[in-house]
Structure 1
Amino acid sequence: MNYLNYLFVFLCFFVIVYGQFEDALPASRQLGEQCKLDSHCSPNWSLCGRRTLRCECWDGFIKKGNECIAAIQGLCTEDSDCSSTLPHSFCDQDEKCKCRDTYLASPDRTTCLSPKRINETCILEEECKLYLGFYGQCMVNPANYSSKVCLCSQNSHPSRFNGTCIATVGLNGRCTSDDQCHSTTTESIQLICYDSQCKCPAGYVSDDDRGCRDGAETLVKSFIIVLLMFGFTKIF
């Protein structure tokens, strides 16, 4: 036998063995299992890898369990290619999956993150800024250090009207609305904007720019001090 005969025998042997091996494989193959044709792979958006000969996800789709889910920037031809596995997404004019305008892509490109409000759990700072605005931040939860929540950054506070974060104007600072005025020392007392300046509300008096004190309580204390001084003067 010359070498051509040996080669022919080897090829025949390979075809027979491979055919038997192919027949032994299950008809519906899962991700990571061996395959020969795309039709062998059962999960949606999967194919038979040309190099690996194993079932894998289409380009632009990501393996999650035994499913191929759409990823941001993954290829598509219609909205359902994206939204069926990636809520709040659509197929843009470039035929790529994209999050809708009020949503943000997660770092792994598998989720469209929704806008977050104060104290809602977050992953990215941008989630907080989508609703809270420029001063929104994703920070360690003061009540649970293992998680993060949306909070207003330093020198800002939540608006009384819509919950967005706005720059803080303290006692005696210049203002244009009550919403800007915020006391960092007596947060339970809401300052007011009066004559373009943040002031204590009726019934309270300023405490050297540090906060507001109850006016009635201050008056009583002052009266007691006067009585004590008067009594002290009488004694001597």
Structure 2
Amino acid sequence: MRLLPILSFVFYALNTISAEDLLELSCLTDEQCMQFEGGKCLDSRCICTARGGGSEERVDCQPKDEKRNNIIGGPCPCTLPHAECDVQTQQCFCAVEYLPSDDRRRCLPVKVPLDDSCEMARQCQSMDTFANCQTKRCICQENFVPYEGDCLSLLDLSCSDNTICETVDAAICLPQTAKCACAKDLVANQNRSACIPGVDYAANCTNSAQCQVQLGAGSTCDKDNRCSCSPTHYAKRDETLNSTVCELRVPYGAYCRRTADCLQMSDGEDKVLNSRMECKWGECQCRAEFQVMNNEYCVVKDAATANQLSLFLPILSIWPIYSVI
């Protein structure tokens, strides 16, 4: 009988706590606390002043209207730069060509050119597949060099002018490196001795760069020497362009504006790969008939509860021993 209160608590904890019940109070600047009356950013947290009794006490801020109104996905009005109010949902979202930062408190440009400031790799790769965000700047990845705004694949061939490089098809001499490099949309072969074209999904390949020319940064040359998508991406076919790209899989908690943003599509809108999530308060969350597992997957509620409860069974099995000590 002593187990009943414990089991009740376990089920209560599993089914009542959700991300929606938490108010975001973390901050970097005072401007991020403007949604709260008298809010200031102190020790990376929005703090307000409660007047009364002849003293001014510092307390956690409370929202004026609805919870989470100080982040992207919260209710309008929108005070963050590059954010706009969605009239249909009355929520704040980043404007077109912008995406939210990891803390959902800023809207960042989707496309960032080489040598400009960045916070995530996708900003750089939206401009150039072979760029990456390092030390908060967009730079070319290893064995690629910047040239006229593009990242060109470097060959292991020294040069002083184009004469030597012309012996290798579609290669030019780069003065800053004194090395030959492949023209845009071509990459070096495995031993970096020649330039080769990109190939399509499931085609034969010799290195991942060859796949990334056409499929994007989320592709790889697998162990069978064929182009495929990495585990974090899936193959999305565009029949209009008659091409395939490796699209980023939509994870639980991902930023969204519409429920369609939470679905993984393949051959157009008629083929849905994942329909267990919906867009709620700017995040992809599990639909009513599903429950989040390990803060990553949406599974049928009964299965999720059974799996989570199994984690508590070892504790419950020894509870009577400790309860009588």
Could you state the TM-score of these two structures normalised by the residue count of structure 2?
0.31
Could you state the TM-score of these two structures normalised by the residue count of structure 1?
0.41
The structure with the greater share of residues assigned to helix is 1
